Amino acid sequence: MAKRNNKGFSLIEIVIAMAVLTILLTPIIKQFAQTMKVSRQAKEMQYVNEEASYTLEEAQVTPTKQLMEIYNKEVADNPTYTLSTSTDTYYCELRTPGDVLYSITNPEGEPYKNEAGVAVAGVPYTVETYKIGNVELGPENALYNKVVTVDNLATQVRDAQNSLDSSKGFQIKYNMKESELPSGYTLTSEGAGVKLQEGTGNIVGVIVEEVDYVGNPNNTNLGNMQNLDYETVAMINGTATNFDEQAEKALFSMAMDDLKKIDYEEWQKGMLQVDAYGILQQAGYYPTMSKVTKIHVAQLHDNALNKNYYLVKADVYYRGYYTLKGKESKAELSYNVFSQKFYTDKCPDIYFEYQPFISELVENPGSYSVTYAENDYILLDCCVEDADPKTDGIQEPKLYLYKPFNDASSVSVGTGTYEHVENYTYTTKAPSASIKNNKTAYEQFLLDNSVAIHLAHANAEVFDMKVYTNLNTEDNGDKSQFFYSAGDFNTTIYDATYDKNIIIDFKFVESDFEIYHNYPKADFPKENLNPLDKDTRYDDRLRTVTVSLIPIKNANSDEVRDNANTVRLSGAKGEK
């Protein structure tokens, strides 16, 4: 019978086997550990980026006055968090992509100075900082400091002039590449090249490009509205003028219907011929038309949501007159051009990209020219439902009535833009190139051809509305840009556009509130119309928000985590 070998592994064999196994498993274990570490870091960065994006979006749409309230609540909900705030002024140098310093002045042609009165090379700008400390992010509660800053650097850059050529200004250069940056500069999430101050992280240098000077958009033409928040600011983008031609066609259609009743044979000719307008003219059709734009603001209550909201509407009304075969006719037309509800704590400000009534539009190959009516009308109707407007409700409604930098009246001349002037003037027609090149002649042209813009309240019971404008608010007598009498909405005037007396009768345009129907219109207080730079409040400005999440060491560590990076995002902000 054969013997069985029941002898086990010797100690040496076990040691050798373990050594071999260790050699084989070590790189696998290291790789697994590295993979787990990278995975944790990736998850952490995902949380960090999401937090940065959310914080940026929240800050962009929240009035800055309410940011403190939001961050106070965040800290209250997380006892380990801390909150500190500050408001500081910094100076930022403007540089070329080649890192050459631009020599700049303020809009008055003087060098910028610091608080001590010493000239500085950069533009001053304000930074409001909100620092939330010990923010826990990710599955392992990694610690970060979250820093939110709101600054006005972009608009301050636009305010600076080139000291060598005052017709030239600057704007921040965006969409740059890393390869284009000078040494010491970093790229923002918007593609701007900036130099950051060590310690604070605030911008002390920025790459800019030279442009024609237009000034700070917060103080001058407000031609760039895309950075404003559509949920908190009413933006009426000049669409009222789209209805001018439509209203004239509607009046023409009414006249054709009348002609059918008065002279059927002539009407048939008009329908069969291409020149139907000529047939109407033979019947004495030379219409006149005038327009009023009504801005309506109301505070109402949403029963379904049990909360108040603000309703902002803009409507245009046309009054037309014409004569056919000796018979006089009139027409009333109206169109709604804007209507939006705002569930906000305060009355939304209204930005109205304004153009007067276009009485004639001539299209040419590749361009067009317009003639504005000599008179245009704006009616303001601001009230509160079931409330005493003298004591309740609406908080400081403001209308920003502004002429866009490039508007229809200037398209037919030269490059299509006026020379830069601090306050613009709407004229019935565009000046010739020779007039624009002669300052004295140009200023006289503006006086002699200015459109008369008539302002009034819907009635004496409505709230006063503040109006800020980049149009000329100077009192030049009967050559002024603005007039304030409610009587102008119901009168007879001579209009050179039509070369005849025309009837102005807007009695049919009333307050949207039935309780104020049949109330007479009221004069607009002259002191309520001011240039844009008289609006001293700090809200609703074009600003930049920057969110930084900076890693800090955890309580059980003396060092910041390996490969933990600072995340920095920035974006435009419309309301402060």
**Residue 310 predicted with pLDDT over 50:** yes
**Domain limits of the chain?**
44-218+541-573, 234-240+289-534
Q: What percent of the chain has pLDDT over 70?
A: 79
pLDDT, greater one: 102 or 555: 102
Q: Which residues contact 443 (CB under 8 A, 6 or more apart)?
A: none
241 band by pLDDT with thresholds 50, 70 and 90: low
What is the pLDDT, as a whole number, of residue 7?
60
Report how far Cα 529 is from the mean position of its chain's Cα atoms: 20
**Residue 379 predicted with pLDDT over 90:** yes
Query: Stretch 439-447: mean pLDDT, rounded?
Result: 86
Query: Of 151, 146, 147, whose CA–CA distance to 135 is shortest?
Result: 146
Using DSSP's 3-state secondary structure scheme, residue 229 falls into coil
248 band by pLDDT with thresholds 50, 70 and 90: confident
Query: Of 544, 543, 560, whose CA–CA distance to 552 is shortest?
Result: 560
Alpha carbons 30 and 9: distance in angstroms, whole number: 29
**Residue 264 predicted with pLDDT over 60:** yes
Q: What is the pLDDT of residues 556-575, one digit of tens each?
A: 555 555 556 777 777 666 54
429 band by pLDDT with thresholds 50, 70 and 90: confident
Query: Stretch 89-112: mean pLDDT, rounded?
Result: 91
Using DSSP's 3-state secondary structure scheme, residue 543 falls into strand
425 membership: H or E segment, kind and range: none
pLDDT, greater one: 479 or 360: 479
Alpha carbons 40 and 557: distance in angstroms, whole number: 17
What mean pLDDT is reported for the chain?
79
Query: Stretch 25-51: mean pLDDT, rounded?
Result: 71
537's tokens: 């409040």
Q: What is the pLDDT of residues 104-161, one digit of tens each?
A: 998 888 999 998 889 999 999 988 899 998 888 877 788 888 988 888 888 888 889 9
278 band by pLDDT with thresholds 50, 70 and 90: confident
What is the pLDDT, as a whole number, of residue 130?
92
What is the pLDDT, as a whole number, of residue 36?
62
What is the pLDDT, as a whole number, of residue 39?
62
Query: Stretch 502-529: mean pLDDT, rounded?
Result: 88
**Range with lowest mean pLDDT among 8-22, 206-220, 421-435, 513-527:** 206-220
Whether 378 and 355 have beta carbons less than 8 Å apart is answered as no
8 band by pLDDT with thresholds 50, 70 and 90: low
Query: Stretch 534-552: mean pLDDT, rounded?
Result: 69
Alpha carbons 209 and 532: distance in angstroms, whole number: 26
